[in-house]
Amino acid sequence: WNALSTEDLMAVSSTFKDDELALVLSKMEVEKVAALVGEMEPKRGASVSRQLARIASVVPEES
Tally: H helices and E strands in the chain: 4, 0
d(CA 23, CA 34) in angstroms, rounded, equals 15
d(CA 35, CA 9) in angstroms, rounded, equals 10
Q: How many domains does the chain have?
A: 1
Query: Range of 48's domain?
Result: 6-56
14-29 pLDDT, tens digit per residue, is 999 999 999 999 999 9
Residue 2: exposed, middle, or buried by beta-carbon count in 10 A (0-12, 13-18, 19+)? exposed
| Residue 22 resides in a domain | yes
36-56 pLDDT, tens digit per residue, is 999 999 999 999 999 999 999
| Residue 63 resides in a domain | no
